[in-house]
């Protein structure tokens, strides 16, 4: 018999409780000091690891210390500065044009609403939610590759489209845990629930995970 919404919500709460104990320091793994720096780092993180982004951004942020300096940057020089993060032409354009919009339309301050953030080049719902949750302290479900994979395995979502996953998770995750839910699943996805081969036998939420139960059963 399928879970009711209440049963799913209770299971989600228990998963979050356990993962909070397992990963007490779970946080955003992109390094930044300002809202705009997080925006730039998030653009760079597309198809790139956070670790690699954190290697690129110290020199980048030293060279371009504020929104206006990014807005004034040349395309070719920006491409060279971020080349190690991959897809550098598209990312350079997104970084420069979003900075120009922030400078010209929003008075140099990164906007703090979903509607306004989505007007910026290179910003989709994932990046917008990251900024809303991490920088502005607003409840936000951030759906990245780890959340998509781990939440699916845990049976907390049946969707595959990131936007649909976001709205489905809103229904089962307590609002006060929306942002930290991402950090917990990223930590768990990197340590235990890995993409090619999850370590189900040592997973602290195995007893709450349909995928893990099935996998362990098949192994036996």
Q: Is 20 a catalytic residue?
A: no
Q: Is 161 a catalytic residue?
A: no
Measured CA to CA in angstroms, residue 183 lies from 35, 54, 163, 180 at distances of: 18, 17, 18, 5
Q: Which residue has the tokens 């809103």?
A: 170
Q: Which two tokens stand for residue 160?
A: 């595959």
Spatial contact of 12 and 172, defined as CB atoms under 8 Å apart: yes
- Class of residue 93 by CB neighbours under 10 A (exposed 0-12, middle 13-18, buried 19+): middle
The alpha-helical segments, DSSP class H, found in 23-161 are 35-44, 50-63, 67-71, 75-82, 88-104, 114-117, 125-130, 145-153
Q: Out of 50, 91, 101, 126, which one is annotated catalytic?
A: 126
Cα separation, 199 vs 180, whole angstroms: 22
Cα separation, 15 vs 193, whole angstroms: 13
Query: How many degrees, rounded to 5, is the angle at CA 196 between CA 82 and CA 213?
Result: 135
Q: Out of 144, 161, 197, 220, which one is annotated catalytic?
A: 144
Report which DSSP code applies to 174: -
Active site residues: 126, 144
């Amino acid at each position: 018999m399928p879970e009711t919404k209440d049963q799913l919500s209770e299971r989600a709460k228990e998963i979050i409780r356990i993962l909070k104990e397992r990963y007490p320091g779970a946080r955003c793994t992109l390094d930044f000091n300002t809202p705009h720096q997080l925006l730039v780092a998030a653009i760079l993180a597309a198809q790139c690891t956070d670790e690699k982004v954190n290697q690129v951004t110290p020199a980048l942020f030293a060279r371009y210390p504020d929104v206006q300096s990014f807005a004034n940057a040349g395309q070719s020089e920006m491409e060279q500065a971020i080349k190690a993060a991959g897809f550098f032409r598209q990312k350079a354009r997104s970084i420069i044009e979003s900075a120009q919009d922030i400078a010209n339309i929003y008075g140099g301050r990164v906007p703090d609403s979903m509607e306004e953030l989505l007007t910026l080049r290179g910003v989709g719902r994932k990046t917008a939610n990251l900024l809303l949750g991490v920088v502005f302290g607003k409840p936000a479900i951030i759906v990245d590759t780890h959340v998509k994979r781990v939440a699916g395995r845990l049976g907390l979502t049946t969707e595959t489209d990131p936007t649909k996953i976001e709205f489905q998770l809103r229904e089962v995750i307590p609002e006060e845990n929306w942002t930290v839910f991402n950090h917990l699943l990223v930590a768990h996805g990197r340590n235990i629930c890995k993409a090619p081969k999850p370590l189900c036998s040592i997973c602290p939420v195995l007893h709450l995970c349909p995928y893990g139960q099935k996998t362990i059963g098949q192994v036996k």
